[in-house]
Chain A
Amino acid sequence: MFPESISWRSPRPWLASAIVLLLLLVPLLSQWAGSSFYLTFATRIVVFAIAVSGLNLVLGYGGLISMGHALFVGLGAYVVGIGATHGLVNGWAQLVIALALSAVVALVTGLVSLRTRGIGFIMITLAFNQMFYFLAVSLKQYGGDDGLPLEQRSSFAPLPSLDGKVALYYLCLAVLFAVMLLIWRLVHSRFGYVLRGFQANERRMLAAGFPRVRYQLSAYVLSALICTVAGVLQANLTTFSSPSYLSWQASGEQILIVVLGGMGTVMGPVVGALVLLILEELLSGITQHWMAILGPAILLVALVSQRGIWGALRHREGRP
């Protein structure tokens, strides 16, 4: 099942196993603590980790700096919200519609974006993000600027109802583990090699005979689909679909989590989401002006590191 040999002499597999175990036990721990807050909070972290895993595929492994992935999260959330408003609460149907829509949008935006490089790519993905943000704001009959409350949670029968916090959590966690496994295998496969190769040295890859666009576009669409799934889960978690899910600040936050956790590593998105969200929670408990502390902290991270937490761990062991 694992695409590479795991050396139990290094600390990373132990750390990763500990995190997985912790995540599996959250509902129990939350019950002991006597409040469902921790369970909801953990679900938020897991959903973020899913979305960021999607971004990690193109950013961490593909080297493409996309400021436009919040768009796909929002798309998933709005399909659920709008669907529920019109009586469509079958989660499977919502999922299929959301994925199909995302695939089309990702295909078109990806094709246009991949014509550009560097800053152009950043800008054009940002532009597409903004376009859909304004589209969401303009949907007055679906809440517009205020957002759209979810009439009813999606039903993923025969799975238990998502109104149960524990059921929702384990669904999100299962999705996260599935996505992580998928990405882990993908980056070690032939496709993964090509994607990572283009990040490492595009010139060499072209000289080898690999055409660039089809592989980067495929990765882009796949990452969009993963973000869409996160969006579907997000709407069910918050019972809300908001244009803020599509803001460029949300895209920026995703990038922050990937870099913080460790770009180009499977555990990075999970670690990043854990660290950032817990940090935000702790800081906001200290002062309402926690952003004045977090901001410089982010600046510091950007000044000091490139590898992120998990990436730094890998580097210490000499793994590239």
Chain B
Amino acid sequence: MSAMLQVHQLVKRFGGLVATDHFDLSLERGEVHALIGPNGAGKTTVMGQLTGELMPDEGSITFDGRDITRWSTPERALNGMARSYQITQLLEGFTVLENVMLMVQAHLGHSFHAWKPARQQDVLVKPALEALQQVGLQARADEDVMALAHGEHRQLELAMALAMKPRLLLLDEPLAGMSHAESMQMVTLLQSLKGQYTMLLVEHDMQAVFSLADRVSVLVYGHAIACGTPAEIQADDRVRDAYLGDH
């Protein structure tokens, strides 16, 4: 198996604070890798550096053999990386379908087409509907995106990431704020995607992590203190110490 994503000794400082402290990560093709850690451990900062929204101070990120450390966010998106956000980042003022259509559109060359209505273009609509179908939202396609419930927003986040036909899915707390029933639905959905996509999953919900992940990395104060299968991690004393009372 070849490593799809290789993160090597990543360091990020904010003034005097070291948010990412020589972080290493290796993601194999097709695996679901979970990143867990106590609050404030720096998971979002790591995510930001992986997607290009933050630039690391030291270290490197290699994706499919290419050094993408300094690549911009759009460049990474166009080369197979898709992210879903912890706090939903939706396009207000558009419908559910249009939100997904824009993700499809980004990967269809340039958008300097100013005359034909986008809504009537099958090449945009069909893949968008398919992505919505995958997450079970196709019935809500023509509704204003703000009319959806929170759980449906999270589903839409996933649909938008999937519509980009990525090779790597970066999922930032996809279950955040969901009810138990909604979480179960989402976990089932993610399980159905296993094998088709390589996934890096940042999550607090331990049940979900242990049922989905092939391997787990534990992040404490910006550093990976352990990496292994869910069973190995559960048995690890260092992890227990770090998580005292956390779950």
Q: Which of A48-56, A115-123, A207-215 contacts B (4 or more CB under 8 A)?
A: A207-215
Contacts of B91 in A (CB 8 A): 197, 200-201, 204-205
Judging by beta carbons under 8 Å apart, are A210 and B92 in contact?
A: no
Query: Is the beta-carbon distance between B102 and A189 smaller than 8 angstroms?
Result: no
A170 interfacial contact with B, CB 8 Å:
no
In the complex, how many angstroms separate the beta carbon of B74 from the nearest chain A beta carbon? Answer: 5
Select A4's contact among B113, B117, B144, beta carbons within 8 Å. B117
Q: Is the CB of B111 within 8 A of A209?
A: no
Do B89 and A207 touch across chains, with their CB atoms under 8 A apart? Answer: yes
A140 within 8 A of B: no
- Inter-subunit contact B106/A209 (CB<8 Å): yes
A188 pairs with B117, CB closer than 8 A: yes
In the assembled complex, the Cα of A318 lies from the Cα of B146 at a distance in Å of 11
- Name the interface size band of chain B: 35 or more
Q: What 1/0 flags go to A153-186 for Cβ under 8 Å of B?
A: 0000000000000000000000000000000011
The yes or no answer to A320 lying at the interface (CB within 8 A) is: yes
B129 at the interface (CB under 8 A from A): no
A193 to B224, CA, bound (A): 41
Q: Mark A1-34, 1 if CB is under 8 A from B, else 0.
A: 0011000000000000000000000000000000
**Of A194, A207, A211, most B-chain CB atoms within 10 Å:** A207
What residue of chain B has the Cβ atom nearest to residue A208's Cβ?
A: B106
Main secondary structure, interface of A, reads: helix
What 0/1 pattern do residues 155 to 171 of B give for CB contact below 8 A with A? 00000100010000000
Whether B93 contacts A320 by the Cβ 8 Å rule is yes
Q: How far is the CA of A75 from the CA of B144 in the complex (A)?
A: 41
Answer whether residue B98 sits at the interface, using C-beta atoms and an 8 A cutoff. Answer: yes
A44: Cβ under 8 A from any B Cβ: no
Q: Tell me whether A196 is interfacial, beta carbon within 8 Å.
A: yes
Q: Verify if B198 is at the interface (C-beta below 8 Å from A).
A: no
Query: Measured between alpha carbons, how far is A193 from B106 in the docked complex, in Å?
Result: 11
**CB interface residues, B 109-130, toward A, < 8 Å:** 111-119, 121, 124
Q: Please tell me which one of the listed residues A188, A210, A318 contacts residue B111 in the complex, with CB atoms under 8 A apart.
A: A210
**A282-320 residues at the B interface, CB under 8 angstroms:** 318, 320
- Contact residues on A (Cβ < 8 Å of other chain), bracket: 20 to 34
Find the B residue at minimum CB distance from A222.
B114
Chain B residues near A209 (CB-CB < 8 A): 74, 77-78, 106-107, 164
A225 and B14 CA atoms in complex are apart in Å by 44
Within the assembled complex, what's the spacing in Å between the Cα atoms of A248 and B202?
50
Q: Which residues of B contact A204 (CB under 8 A)?
A: 85, 89-91, 160
Given A196-B93, A320-B92: A189 in contact with B115 (beta carbons within 8 A)? yes
**Which residue among A186, A191, A208 has the maximum number of chain B CB atoms within 10 Å of its CB?**
A208
- Pairwise interchain contact A189-B94, C-beta atoms closer than 8 A: no
B216 at the binding interface (Cβ < 8 Å): no
Indicate which residue in A4, A201, A207 contacts B73 across the interface (CB closer than 8 Å): A207
Q: How far is the CB of B167 from chain A (nearest CB, A)?
A: 13
For residue B105, CB closer than 8 A to chain A, the reply is: yes
Q: Complex formed: what's the CA distance from A128 to B218 in Å?
A: 52
- Is A190 close to B, CB under 8 A? yes
Interface residue? B153 (CB, 8 A): no
Q: Would B112 and A191 count as touching, CB distance under 8 A?
A: yes
CA distance A47 to B103 in the complex (A): 38
Asked if A207 meets B94 with Cβ closer than 8 Å, knowing A4-B117, A185-B117, A194-B102, the reply is: no
A204 CB, min distance to chain B CBs, angstroms: 4
* Contacting pair A189 B113 (CB below 8 A): yes
Chain A residues near B85: list those with CB within 8 A. Answer: 204, 207
Known: A193-B101, A320-B93, A320-B94. A206 touches B74 (CB 8 A): yes
Could you write out 30 A-B pairs with CB less than 8 Å apart?
Answer: A4-B119, A188-B117, A189-B113, A189-B114, A189-B117, A190-B111, A190-B118, A190-B124, A192-B114, A193-B98, A194-B102, A194-B105, A200-B91, A200-B93, A200-B94, A201-B91, A204-B90, A204-B160, A206-B72, A207-B51, A207-B77, A208-B102, A208-B106, A208-B160, A208-B164, A209-B106, A211-B72, A320-B93, A320-B94, A320-B146
Extra inter-chain contacts (17) besides given A185-B117, A201-B90, A211-B72, CB under 8 Å: A189-B115, A189-B116, A190-B113, A190-B114, A190-B121, A193-B101, A197-B91, A205-B91, A206-B53, A206-B74, A206-B77, A207-B51, A207-B85, A208-B102, A208-B160, A210-B111, A320-B146
Binding site for A on B (CB under 8 A): 51, 53, 72-74, 77-78, 82-83, 85, 89-95, 98, 101-103, 105-107, 111-119, 121, 124, 144, 146, 160, 164
Query: 8 closest pairs, A vs B, by CB?
Result: A209-B77, A209-B106, A208-B106, A200-B91, A204-B89, A209-B78, A3-B117, A190-B111
